[in-house]
Structure 1
Amino acid sequence: MHTLNLGILAHIDAGKTSLTERLLYAAGVIDEIGSVDDGSTQTDSMALERQRGITIKSAVVSFAIDDMTVNLIDTPGHPDFIAEVERVLSVLDGAVLVISAVEGVQPQTRVLMRTLQRLRIPTLVFVNKIDRRGAQYERVLRSIAEKLTPAVVPMGSAEGLGSRGACFTPYAAGDGDFASRLVDLLADHDDAFMAAFVEDEKALSYGRLRAELAAKTHQALVHPVFFGSAITGAGVDSLMAGIRELLPAVEGDADGPVSGTVFKVERGPAGEKIAYARMFSGTVRTRDLLRFGEDDEGKVTAVSVFDRGSAVRRASLTGGQIGRLWGLAGIRIGDVIGTPRASAAQRGHFAPPTLETVVVPCRRADRGALYAALTQLAEQDPLINLRQDEIRQEVAVSLYGEVQKEVIQATLANEFGVDVTFRETTTICIERLVGTGAAVEIIDKDPNPFLATVGLRVEPAPINTGVEFRLGIELGSLPFAFIKAVEETVRQTLRQGIHGWQVPDCTVTLTRSGYWPRQSHAHAVFDKSMSSTAGDFRNLTPLVLMDALRQAGTRVYEPMHRFLLDIPADTFGAVLPVLARLRAVPQAPVMRGSSYLLEGDIPAARVHDLEQQLPTLTSGEGVLECAFDHYQPVQDTIPTRPRTDHNPLSRKEYLLHVVRRV
């Protein structure tokens, strides 16, 4: 049986979860359709999801369309939980992008579509809520073509919009206008097809057109559009037929090398880790010793596979399938299982979080419980990026927005019994090197108190290339364990530069090294005072690296968002000075009908202020689309972040903590 791993994506409130319920009902998996408002849906299983009526965690359900098994993944729609969507993208064969027939294309819709196109994920568009008052057909199609992609083709007509009787009628072979639209669209993407059409127009049968449409949809060049209602079921049968015909199902290679990826981790009733994995090839069986991550191994104690609704226990998980694995205690989200795919680039699809806040327990006695709870949450969402300050006994988390903060607070209270508050949300900056710097400290030579010689050179690297560690010493001149200790410490230390911000892009070269070999007294007792250890290199490296950074110099950069503002023309005069106060830099406005379109850059720290002021400034008619775009040098007061390490910028303070002496 073929398998299709399908993602349902949308802006919040477009009806993703309701569509999932309707698909399960139409496939015969459930007997009654659940309600998002009542908290009775299959995929919103968290108590918090049921309370708030939004999807927070991705969820997997399964159903069959003819001979094809569909593993459907319902993802969050709120931009604060975009990290959940990112993790799902790596396991998809295809996607359905849901758009409301009333609200149309919204900011998050555009972000999602751009990402789906960049990753070449075959995508169908489902325009939902045609039964709602204010539903539009032509206007929504026009908006999709203008704001998402012109490579769309409606697959049928919608009648009775705005009423419970609204319906969708798919186009058939006898519809000449539909065939003409297909020819025009397909010809734009295939020269051979265009040549065949020019040579003999009549030779292109309707069956050939549908086959070409499926082929171009598989290549993510064309996006068929369906209309319907998840509530009434209108158009859902046509969408299911489209999923079967137009999206690429796979037949996994069960006998190939084991290769998969983990996109979700949760805890079971007994606290055990459960890994959600998509297998691309091979077979994982119960009691198999499985390799995952960089260098970890674990024995699989149980396997379940998604089949017709929920996951059921099986003896094995094979290529093409999605399942759950037990027994892998050290596994993390994003880990590769077995052999990495040649095309599996491990990089983020969306921007990292740009906000940060300190989590404060309401009861001092809950500090330990808070850290343990946040550690578990970080397993499920690594991008919250725990940052523990042992000096101040504080824990900070990274965020996408204020709603995410509320969810963390409610989750800590409901699931862990820990009540918390938050400090003021701040912006996460970064530091970039200005020039090149070098430093060295010699073994047994003041002021170096460690039995190690370390020389380091730091140089700027191209943006988004990360930290590269190079060897500028002869191979064999330093034991591998000591080299590894230096490299790991370099990467750890660069999380806090001169001003306390991470230094993300640079090249660090180990230029000099030295050590004292292991020595013992006559009675063969190891003498630490005469022998170098990895600890000497770990302790010395931060001092040398910070000296090199000081010599190179760093500049602090703040995150900037690209904004698109659609406002009534008569509010332009009131909005412009507010943008100036918020340090936004708009481009020349574009007049469109009775509104102005403004595009430009705004500091991430000011986005929330703009969101709050916009409704008042525009009488509720302004629409803001905003997404991270780049980092920009800070021009005013340089922001600093309190250090959470032993401050290698101050030798006296550092040595007092590390060796208890100066």
Structure 2
Amino acid sequence: MKKLVVGILAHVDAGKTTLSESMLYLSGRIRQLGRVDHQNAFLDYDMQERNRGITIFSKQAIINWKDVEITLIDTPGHADFSAEMERTLQILDYAIVVINGLDGVQTHSETIWNLLSHYHIPTFLFINKMDITSYSQEHLLGNIQSRLDEHCFDFTNQDEIFFESIALVDDDLLDEYMEHQTIQTQSLIPYIQQRKIFPVYFGSALKTDGVTVFMDALDTYTKEPCYPDEFGAQVYKVTHEGGHRLTHVKIVGGSLKTKEKIKDDEKVDQIRRYSGHKYEMLEIATPGMVVALKGLSSIQPGEGLGYKQTSLSPLLSSYMNYRIVLPDDCDQHQMLKNLQQLSQEDPTLHVTYHQELDEIHIQLMGEIQIEILKNIIQERFHVDVSFDQGQILYKETILNPVEGVGHFEPLRHYAEVHLLLEPLEVGSGLQFETDCSEDVLSRSYQRLILTHLQEKEHLGVLTGSPITDMKITLLCGKAHQKHTEGGDFREATYRAVRQGLKMAQSILLEPYYQFRLEIPSTCLSRALYDIEQMHGTFEMPDTSLETIIIEGEAPVACMQNYHQEVIAYSKGKGKLSCSLKGYQPCHNQDEVIEKIGYDSETDMHYPTGSVFCAHGAGFYVSWDQVRSYMHIQSGLKEKTVSTSQQTTRTYANEDEELDDIFTRTYGPVQRRLADDYYRKEPVQESMQVKMKPECLLIDGYNVIHAWDELKDLASVNLGSARERLIDILSNYQGYRQCLMIIVFDAYKVKDNQGTLEKNHNVYVVYTKEAQTADMYIERVTHHLASDYRVIVATSDALEQTIVIGRGARRMSSRELKLEVEALGQEKFDEFLRKQEKSRNFLLEDIQKLKTKE
């Protein structure tokens, strides 16, 4: 029996859950048909779902039908929960799109279709409510073909016209049809799988009309994926049930057994296979199964396990930012931990703590999601919270390519980075790569810079909003043989990004709705006037009909509450549906910038200038002057293009090329000699950068399990792994000359009082009973933050968030490994260079003796 994972997706009220219910009933999985309006649907078992009559959380059910076992994934249809729906697309073999026969294709239906195209998922369509619609099958099929894809074909009527239409899809199909006057079923399967053909079926899910034929089609026209023997799994969801964290995955290769160790040495305690709210316990999960794993603590949605790589970046994201208002007696830091747990279940929540304002902010997609979240917080954590009015989440991008430069050189520190920032098409997100020779900068330092580029959300210089639609390329960089230490390249990289943004022409982006407005013809002039006032665009509708449909795009900021006005002026006869289109240039950029009042020059957390050194002290150079202080030449290279319509330039050498580029872009370049980098004039006290001593706090076991070498050693002898880590970090501390504290968990050791000992040049802490390493690090961070620049090395996402709130900087375990390797390689290269100066060869000595004789 072939196994398939099939997702069912639709616009709200299309009958998606009803179709799921009908399929479960006909397959014998349930004995009685449930209904959404009766609050007894098999898959809508959550109380909030039953009360509201909508699907909020994706759930699964197992259906056996003829020769196929279907894991059916029911997804939310409301636009507020689109991110939950998108996460399920990572694991689907096929998708079912349900279209409401009363309305045809809606704007959210098009959003779903674009997502399925992005994830390349073969799709079947079921046109529902055909028992009560006034539209014919031909009309609805034409609507689908014009708005979704012209290769959507009615598979319920396989006559001569059907095969003639199918034959035009591909030459091979045309040859088969011309030879046999028909096309075999087996010939259609690969075209459906490759998204070249989309089967369409009609029926009524509530009355089970056409559902049997549709399920037969899922058996006939589908093919089970081929899975490799090597273990692999795709994580798509995290939930919490009964105090336990469940990681939901699809097995895409090999098998997984209980008590088996997987990524980061985490062990699977249980394997659960759900169908509705019930589950069966499995000893082994095989390819094609969708299961929930108990016992994993840090794996996040979107991650791949085994051979499986991380999935595509999601297309949908929240576009509203809200401040959470807590009761006076609520522990803010405990609530932050609780919200981080919720953000594991829904990463688009994007919980952040603003230290300056002492506020917690969260990103959401609409009013219904707010109400659901408030109820979840009350039920799970017993706290009544509220949300403020909310603000539009803007983004920023650039219009022209520029080179950003960053330099960080206070006393005994050194790093320089040059980055190329280039604009990309709308919706491209951020892309990172390197175009730097290893002769210029070692591979380990290049990897470290790319890690710094990807590890955080970089902010623009117009409003302090996140940047997007940009490609950032490492051009070149420089380290010092002696003084480059941990964090130097982080500082230089961040400053290079910001300096580049200041050099570029930045623009503000805002979220746009794609809308569909259905109104009586008497309201047309009012609607068109409103759309123009909201800075929207639209297609001119057919004005000869009694009911007019207007489709277009408009800024979210202008159209947020417009549905209430539509109901008012149409006397309840109008209907507005919106879905998020994406980000486009802001319609009132100057007004928004002035209102936000962001000053990039006073943002201490995101500096735009660089730090240089003279006379034993660091001094700050503003972004517009920093280029003339740089120690290495630009990494920009102009490509010559030989075309009749484009002026080309050729250069005698690279210096001449760079001179020309900079002269045309920034004006004449003033070259500096090496001595010019040390100012002859006294440095003003206000310009000097006084650095606090550095303290590095390291979560020992977290690092051990994150480094492959130590993880393998720990599987044999944990004590040896600890000693090896201490030796590595002791050597590392010798280079950095910082206060280093390595913390190991010992909270499970009964009657343990905890110890603090100095091992060589580092402090080693074993926590006391009932005290975790996280708790110890939080306390020490708070205590030392006023006197030290505290950096915490851990890959625990929750712990990283908390220490930032305590005033520390974070460093992942992987990043620590890269810095240790990079610094060690630099020191070794320095040793070899010194050896070469004094080397002596035996043959040279013999030759000298012969000469003397």
| TM-score normalised by structure 1 residue count | 0.82
Shift of 1:270: 2.7
> Which residue of the other structure, out of 560, 565, 568, is the alignment partner of 1:616?
568
Q: Contact 2:7/2:88 (CA < 8 Å) preserved in 1?
A: yes
Q: Which residue of the partner structure matches residue 525 of structure 1?
A: none
Partner AA of 2:253 in structure 1? S
Shift of 1:237: 1.9
Is 2:250 the counterpart of 1:298? no
Q: Which residue of the partner structure matches residue 430 of structure 2?
A: 466
> Which residue of the other structure, out of 193, 201, 208, is the alignment partner of 2:173?
193
CA distance 1:89–1:100, change in 2 (3 Å): same
Using the alignment, how far apart are the partners of 1:301 and 1:565 within structure 2?
51
Q: Which residue of the partner structure matches residue 330 of structure 1?
A: 298
Q: Which residue of the partner structure matches residue 402 of structure 2?
A: 436
> Which residue of the other structure, out of 489, 513, 531, is the alignment partner of 1:579?
531
Using the alignment, how far apart are the partners of 1:540 and 1:30 within structure 2?
62
- For residues 52-67 of structure 1, what are the structure 2 equivalents within 5 Å? 52-67=52-67
Q: Contact 2:25/2:31 (CA < 8 Å) preserved in 1?
A: yes
Shift of 1:468: 1.8
SS at match of 2:266: strand
After superposition, what is the alpha-carbon deviation per residue over 1:512-532, rounded to whole angstroms, capped at 9, x for unaligned? Answer: 434474xxxxxxxxxxxxx75
Partner AA of 1:269 in structure 2? G
- For residues 223-242 of structure 1, what are the structure 2 equivalents within 5 Å? 223-242=198-217
CA distance 1:413–1:270, change in 2 (3 Å): closer
Q: Which residue of the partner structure matches residue 129 of structure 1?
A: 129
CA distance 1:515–1:327, change in 2 (3 Å): farther
Q: Contact 2:90/2:119 (CA < 8 Å) preserved in 1?
A: no
Q: Which residue of the partner structure matches residue 451 of structure 1?
A: 413
CA distance 1:656–1:374, change in 2 (3 Å): farther
Using the alignment, how far apart are the partners of 2:221 and 2:544 within structure 1?
36
CA distance 1:200–1:554, change in 2 (3 Å): closer
CA distance 1:96–1:590, change in 2 (3 Å): same
SS at match of 2:247: strand
Using the alignment, how far apart are the partners of 1:39 and 1:303 within structure 2?
30
> Which residue of the other structure, out of 602, 605, 613, is the alignment partner of 1:646?
605
Partner AA of 2:205 in structure 1? A
Shift of 1:407: 1.6
Using the alignment, how far apart are the partners of 1:654 and 1:108 within structure 2?
56
After superposition, what is the alpha-carbon deviation per residue over 1:421-465, rounded to whole angstroms, capped at 9, x for unaligned? Answer: 11222222122235525444353xxxx366233344452242325
Shift of 1:357: 1.6
Q: Contact 1:62/1:307 (CA < 8 Å) preserved in 2?
A: yes
CA distance 1:118–1:474, change in 2 (3 Å): closer
Using the alignment, how far apart are the partners of 1:417 and 1:111 within structure 2?
36
Q: Which residue of the partner structure matches residue 318 of structure 1?
A: 286
Q: Contact 2:107/2:515 (CA < 8 Å) preserved in 1?
A: no
Q: Which residue of the partner structure matches residue 259 of structure 1?
A: 232
Q: Which residue of the partner structure matches residue 606 of structure 1?
A: 558
Is 2:259 the counterpart of 1:287? yes
Is 2:458 the counterpart of 1:495? yes
SS at match of 2:561: helix
> Which residue of the other structure, out of 569, 572, 580, is the alignment partner of 1:627?
580
After superposition, what is the alpha-carbon deviation per residue over 1:223-277, rounded to whole angstroms, capped at 9, x for unaligned? Answer: 3333333333332222221221123334645xx1112211111123133x21111
CA distance 1:29–1:657, change in 2 (3 Å): farther
Q: Contact 2:86/2:115 (CA < 8 Å) preserved in 1?
A: no
Shift of 1:58: 0.7
Using the alignment, how far apart are the partners of 2:191 and 2:316 within structure 1?
29
Q: Contact 1:304/1:312 (CA < 8 Å) preserved in 2?
A: yes
Shift of 1:14: 1.7
After superposition, what is the alpha-carbon deviation per residue over 1:6-48, rounded to whole angstroms, capped at 9, x for unaligned? Answer: 1111111222222222222222222233332343333223332
Using the alignment, how far apart are the partners of 2:262 and 2:94 within structure 1?
28
CA distance 1:557–1:307, change in 2 (3 Å): closer
Is 2:33 the counterpart of 1:9? no
Using the alignment, how far apart are the partners of 1:214 and 1:486 within structure 2?
46
CA distance 1:389–1:263, change in 2 (3 Å): same
- For residues 475-486 of structure 1, what are the structure 2 equivalents within 5 Å? 480=444, 486=449
Q: Which residue of the partner structure matches residue 148 of structure 1?
A: 148
Shift of 1:56: 1.0
Q: Contact 1:363/1:419 (CA < 8 Å) preserved in 2?
A: no
After superposition, what is the alpha-carbon deviation per residue over 1:543-570, rounded to whole angstroms, capped at 9, x for unaligned? Answer: 5543443344533222334445454443
Q: Contact 2:432/2:450 (CA < 8 Å) preserved in 1?
A: no
Structure 2: segments with no counterpart, 5+ residues: 610-619, 621-685, 694-785, 790-853
Using the alignment, how far apart are the partners of 1:227 and 1:419 within structure 2?
46
Structure 1: segments with no counterpart, 5+ residues: 157-170, 172-177, 518-530
CA distance 1:148–1:21, change in 2 (3 Å): same
551-560 or 532-541, which deviates more: 532-541
Partner AA of 1:648 in structure 2? P
Using the alignment, how far apart are the partners of 1:309 and 1:366 within structure 2?
33
SS at match of 2:29: coil
Is 2:377 the counterpart of 1:412? yes
SS at match of 2:434: strand
214-223 or 644-653, which deviates more: 644-653
Is 2:197 the counterpart of 1:222? yes
634-643 or 451-460, which deviates more: 634-643
Using the alignment, how far apart are the partners of 1:139 and 1:572 within structure 2?
24
- For residues 15-94 of structure 1, what are the structure 2 equivalents within 5 Å? 15-94=15-94
Partner AA of 1:197 in structure 2? Y
Q: Which residue of the partner structure matches residue 520 of structure 1?
A: none
Shift of 1:96: 1.7
After superposition, what is the alpha-carbon deviation per residue over 1:87-143, rounded to whole angstroms, capped at 9, x for unaligned? Answer: 111211112222233333322222223433454423222233345576865543443
Partner AA of 2:605 in structure 1? H
SS at match of 1:637: helix
CA distance 1:627–1:270, change in 2 (3 Å): closer
> Which residue of the other structure, out of 159, 163, 187, is the alignment partner of 1:183?
163
> Which residue of the other structure, out of 509, 525, 537, is the alignment partner of 2:474?
509
Q: Contact 1:29/1:309 (CA < 8 Å) preserved in 2?
A: no
Q: Contact 1:565/1:622 (CA < 8 Å) preserved in 2?
A: yes
SS at match of 1:299: coil
Task: Supply the RMSD in Å over aligned alpha carbons.
Answer: 3.5
Q: Aligned residue pairs: how many?
A: 609
> Which residue of the other structure, out of 234, 243, 246, is the alignment partner of 1:270?
243
Q: Contact 2:436/2:476 (CA < 8 Å) preserved in 1?
A: yes
- For residues 160-179 of structure 1, what are the structure 2 equivalents within 5 Å? 178-179=158-159
Partner AA of 1:338 in structure 2? G
CA distance 1:655–1:395, change in 2 (3 Å): farther
Using the alignment, how far apart are the partners of 2:372 and 2:549 within structure 1?
33
Q: Contact 1:101/1:136 (CA < 8 Å) preserved in 2?
A: no
Using the alignment, how far apart are the partners of 2:206 and 2:688 within structure 1?
63
Q: Contact 2:508/2:589 (CA < 8 Å) preserved in 1?
A: no
Q: Contact 2:563/2:576 (CA < 8 Å) preserved in 1?
A: no
Q: Which residue of the partner structure matches residue 351 of structure 1?
A: 316
- For residues 83-122 of structure 1, what are the structure 2 equivalents within 5 Å? 83-122=83-122
Using the alignment, how far apart are the partners of 1:457 and 1:216 within structure 2?
44
